[in-house]
Structure 1
């Protein structure tokens, strides 16, 4: 972390660009040395990068988060089940007595005493973790409702929907964890998105009840990641990564465009090196340049 700054006032694109430029100037980093800026997907952030004339990329984890939200809201039965689950978690979060009673039940059932996880709109994958915690404590929660009231209850069908939703969202959680790790790179993006599309395209018997959500998730991935194979940073880094090379492109045309872009990049690099005179160092001794 080189610099953090409190941002006051309206978050306009001009104000964001000016603040970033001020931070770069403080560290004597000229704009032509900025390789790429990672940003969220807000329009003011996009415009700020355009105003600065620097290359930028949207945060992949944030984009996945937006895809999941779109999918969860697409099917009423799923969103209702999630909303009921959220009310249940909120009840235990705000009532120490209720949590103590649930903890006693967990111990009686030889279950590990765990708190239910509340989801947060701005926390990626938090809804997945909330659903997973509810499913894990299904037996304890069912026992709790036999003697105590809850603000909402889940029917057998809703429990089934939550389990299917959790399984459907698991690849998103895995991918978010992968792209958020310290060892991740831009080379991972295209392969990860391609695999995610394949998983969502597969139809199974377990899709019953969540078909609309799964279809919406696939459509959202297609829409929000529609340009990944046109972004040079993603394409070149994948081609140069020995794990991926020219695999995971969704079409032969995309692969050809990527290879052409790499060849052009190498030609430009050779021209620049030659112009700087560095190539003469490679000539055998005594041989005329």
Structure 2
């Protein structure tokens, strides 16, 4: 038909996040170390059992660490590690982990999770289709954050000016009679 194809918003968002995550070596190292730690507990019932015992001793909720497969599950993995930091510290004092995280890496992990959280919200919003990216993505600064913002601006630059987006919206049955 000679009509240009439009990319999926959720996939474009995923590409932006992937570009941002890979822009900083320290972030990829943290993700690699986090995968090693989570993998250790996934593959060792004995280690997982001891972690559960530590969680009970610390009066924490018994929760499994999350393994990642895509960027949003990387967020869940980081959040699960941060949530279990005390229990993991006790475990590391007793036994050896396949990777150790420094205080700086824990802090960076927290910041990466904070940066990724709005993108997770955007993914949820896009799937509900009740708001725009501008409603969710805050002002972003810093190396990885700057790369993320640049990628978002590049991939979504023509959303307001491309006629195909208007036509697609007009043809979308969910917008019939002004209802969303």
1:89 and 1:116 in contact (8 A); partners too: yes
How far off its partner does 1:232 sit?
Answer: 3.0
- State the Cα distance separating 1:200 from its structure 2 match: 3.3
Over 3 Å counting, the alpha-carbon distance change for 1:142 and 1:242 in structure 2 is farther
Q: Which runs of 5+ in 2 are unaligned?
A: none
Counterpart-to-counterpart distance in 2, 1:232 and 1:113: 51
1:94 is aligned to: 43
Mapped to 1, the partners of 2:83 and 2:164 lie a distance apart of 41
Using the alignment, how far apart are the partners of 2:148 and 2:77 within structure 1? 19
Structure with more contact order per residue of length (Cα contacts < 8 Å, sep ≥ 6): 2
Unaligned runs of 5+ in 1: 1-51, 204-210, 244-289
What pairs with 1:47-126 in structure 2 (closer than 5 Å)? Answer: 53=2, 56-121=5-70, 125-126=72-73
Task: Tell me how far apart the structure 2 counterparts of residues 72 and 83 of structure 1 sit (CA, whole Å).
Answer: 12
In the alignment, structure 1 residue 146 sits paired with structure 2 residue 93: yes
The 3 A distance-change label for structure 1 pair 138 and 231 is: same
* 2:123 alignment counterpart: 176
Q: Distance in 2 between matches of 1:93 and 1:231?
A: 47
Residue number in structure 2 paired with 1:246? none
Name the SS of the counterpart of 2:160 in structure 1.
helix
Q: Do the aligned partners of 1:91 and 1:150 also contact (CA within 8 Å) in 2?
A: yes
Paired with 2:46 and 2:82, the residues of 1 have a C-alpha distance of: 22
Q: Which residue of 2 aligns with 1:167?
A: 114
Q: What TM-score results when the alignment is normalised by the length of structure 2?
A: 0.85
Q: 2:159 aligns with which of 228, 237, 244?
A: 228
How many Å separate the matches in 2 of 1:128 and 1:55? Answer: 33
> Runs in 1 of length 4+ with deviation above 4 angstroms?
52-56, 240-243
- Residue 81 of structure 2 aligns with which residue? 134
Cα deviation code 1:215-265 (max 9, x no counterpart): 100111111212212333534649x8979xxxxxxxxxxxxxxxxxxxxxx
CA RMSD of aligned residues (A): 2.4
